[in-house]
Amino acid sequence: MSVAKPLTSLLAGIIFGLGLAISGLANPDKVLQFLTLNSDWSPALLFTMGAGIVVTFFGYKWVLQRGPVLAEAFSLPTNTRLDPQLLTGAGIFGIGWGLAGFCPGPALVGLTSGMIEPVIFVIALIAGSQLRKITA
């Protein structure tokens, strides 16, 4: 069991990383082409989110009627309140996303590009997250 969980996570990670790369979401130029409302606007990212949500919606339905294979129970968020932390945090994330076109997953995948920008972004991301942790 102790090896099974990391192995299945590794597999899920590979599929997720491939999905991000294939969709174009790992490319901040394409993300900004969606977030920037001008004559170059591209809805491609909506196709990614739409397909991802459709597959996950029906897949989750199926899974939640069964149970996790390798875990005792599902680890699902329990907070249901639209609290100020959620709203402020999502807003701050939106500012950062719009500034560079990177969100956490694509930035990690970008580490394999050999470029320096994702490396700098991921270091700043971890620093920002730690800053929130110690100031919360």
Partner 1 sequence: MITNDYMMAALGGALIGISAVLLLWLNGRIAGISGIINGAFSRTAGEAGWRIAFIVGLLAGGLLFQLFADQPLITRSNYPLPLTIGAGLLVGFGTRMGSGCTSGHGICGISRLSPRSIVATMLFVGVGMLVATTLQGFLK
Residues of 44-65 as b/e, b for ≥16 C-beta within 10 angstroms?
A: ebeebeeeeeeeeeeeeeeeee
Task: Please work out the total of residues on this chain that contact partner 1, with binding judged by CB under 8 A.
Answer: 111
Interaction residues for partner 1, span 24-43 (CB under 8 A): 24-29, 32, 35-38, 42-43
Residue 107 CB, nearest distance to partner 1 (Å)?
A: 8
Residue 90 CB, nearest distance to partner 1 (Å)?
A: 4
Interaction residues for partner 1, span 5-24 (CB under 8 A): 5-24
Does the protein bind partner 1 through residue 69 (CB under 8 A)? yes
Residues in the chain: 136
- One symbol per residue from 72 to 111: x for binding partner 1 (CB under 8 A), - otherwise; what is it? xxxxxx-xxxx--xxxxxxxxxxxxxxxxxxxxx-xxxxx
Q: Alpha carbon of 64 to those of 49, 57, 76, 104, 107: distances in Å?
A: 21, 11, 11, 26, 30
Structure token pair of residue 25? 């979401």
Comparing CA positions, the residue from 50, 72, 68, 71 lying closest to residue 60 is 68
Does the protein bind partner 1 through residue 134 (CB under 8 A)? no
Residue 58 CB, nearest distance to partner 1 (Å)?
A: 8
